[in-house]
Homo-oligomer: A and B are copies of this chain.
Amino acid sequence: MPYAFLPDVARPAVTVDMLVFTLVDGALSLLLIERGLPPFRGRLALPGGFLHVGAGGRGGEALDDAAARELLEETGLGREQVTLGQLGAFGRPGRDPRGRTITVAYYALVRPDAARGVRAGSDAACARWAKVADLDLDALAFDHGGIVAEALVSLRRDVDRAGAALALVPATFTARELREVHEAVHGHRLDAANFDRRLRRLIDDGLIEPTAETRATGRRPARQFRAAQRGARSASTAARPSSHVGRI
């Protein structure tokens, strides 16, 4: 038993909410559930759940582990298959009519090929991919609209640092696919020629590497790339300041 006790103040309930992003038909999409119970019954909401807190002083799960658990429950995806990170905490009084809750929002970036199998999580009544462009943020349950809005700002800011973009393409991808990630996130077209030169820089920097095979894509076959495994950096990378991936 610990030698000192936490003061006996009122505690909020703590939940973890997930912002699971992927690309569906080239459009940035977010996994939402339709609530089957009040409050906000019938409204769309972020998947999530309560943080597991052990009975004793030390038990329970870390926030990151709670996010990974929720992700697995809702989508069947393991944390190795996605890019996971924390967005922040939200706790305005009144955000949940049932009582005081704090939520810690996590984002998860899912490759589109892995996203195909995501359906009917055990926890959620009905999980679906919603295109971000079509989403009415004000219609979401709780304060989830505001959380999604913040996540989109972070995502758009950090997709250019390549880390986030690489998390949203299949393991091997074409230049077009990676470009479409940027286009989907930012919502506007990019010059294919300029983007290819950016790809070449990513190769120079050791972030991605070309594969031997090409892929038939309807017309002329395209070269493919894959994310470089860490450690296999080129000399030019070592000289540059490392491009930190940062949060989402």
Residues of A within 8 A of B (CB): 2-7, 9-14, 37-39, 50-55, 57-63, 86, 88-94, 96-102, 104, 153, 157, 244, 246-247
A contacts with B: majority SS: loop
CA distance A101 to B62 in the complex (A): 11
What distance in Å separates the Cβ of A65 from its nearest Cβ neighbour in chain B? Answer: 9
Report whether B100 and A50 are in contact in the complex, using a CB–CB cutoff of 8 Å.
no
A88-B86, A98-B5, A99-B5 known; A61 vs B93 contact (CB < 8 Å) = yes
CA distance A51 to B92 in the complex (A): 11
Count identical subunits in the complex. 2
What distance in Å separates the Cβ of A186 from its nearest Cβ neighbour in chain B? Answer: 11
Report whether A39 and B4 are in contact in the complex, using a CB–CB cutoff of 8 Å.
yes
Residues of B within 8 A of A94 (CB): 58
Instruction: List 25 A–B pairs whose Cβ atoms lie within 8 Å, in order of A's numbering.
Output: A2-B98, A3-B38, A4-B98, A6-B13, A6-B96, A6-B98, A7-B50, A9-B13, A10-B54, A11-B14, A12-B14, A14-B102, A53-B100, A54-B100, A57-B98, A59-B93, A62-B93, A63-B89, A63-B90, A63-B92, A86-B88, A88-B89, A91-B104, A153-B244, A157-B246
